[in-house]
Amino acid sequence: MLTKINHIGIAVNSLDEAIPFYRDNLGMAFRGMEEVVEQQVKVAFLEVGESKIELLEPTSAESPVAKFLEKNGPGVHHIAYQVEDLEAAIAKLESEGARMIDKVPRLGAHGARIAFIHPKSSNGVLTELCQAGH
Ligand code: CMX
């Protein structure tokens, strides 16, 4: 069902302040920024090998990322796994009792279709399933 880790999401207060560490100090390739209006975040993608890091800055106080930062401060926010068939993956997990935040796919960065599993049913890790796009 899963084909690889697509990216790891890291919540930050400011992309401008966080990007130089990943790009300049760790030497990752900067792959651009994008606002995901529906998720109320601005994201920056950085690449190392075939793996990606997604830095997330909230664009409003109601953003899920703003709430996360308020409670925890900056840190790992979610892990995103790539799937070939998102609807099939959602249906399988639901039928097996997983608590899906998204029962139908929604739109993420780079036009990817995504769905989240609630951290309470995935060992405390907010888990994203993501189909193609990037
Ligand atoms: N990782 C792990 N646990 C998390 C978490 C996270 N990122 N965010 C919240 N939680 C925990 C809280 O700490 C809390 O735990 P306790 O009850 O033990 O204190 C619990 O989940 C809260 O759950 P809730 O009351 O159901 O929900 P919240 O209002 O806090 O929202 C969540 C949490 C995960 C449902 C919400 O953030 C959400 O829907 N996330 C999916 C969308 C999203 O995160 N979008 C941003 C990224 C977009 C992108 O990558 O494109």
Q: Residue 125: is its pLDDT beyond 50?
A: yes
CA dihedral 129, 4, 11, 68 (to 10 degrees): 40
Nearest in space to 82 (alpha carbons), one of 114, 58, 107, 109: 114
Could you tell me if the CB of 126 is within 6 A of ligand 1? yes
Q: How confident is the model at residue 134 (pLDDT cuts 50, 70, 90)?
A: very low
Give the three-class secondary structure for 48.
Answer: strand
Cα–ligand 1 centroid distance for 24 (angstroms): 30
41 close to ligand 1 (CB < 6 Angstrom): yes
Above pLDDT 90, what percent of the chain? 92
Architecture of the structural domain at 2-131 = Roll (3.10)
Over residues 90-110, the mean pLDDT reads 96
| Identity at 83, one-letter amino acid code | V
Q: What is the pLDDT of residues 52-63, one digit of tens each?
A: 999 999 999 999
Task: Tell me the whole-structure pTM to 2 decimals.
Answer: 0.96
- Distance (Å, rounded) from C-alpha 118 to C-alpha 124? 8
d(CA 116, ligand 1 centre) in Å: 10
Convert the pLDDT of each residue in 4-29 to its tens digit: 999 999 999 999 999 999 999 999 99
- On whether the CB atoms of residues 80 and 128 are closer than 8 A, the answer is yes
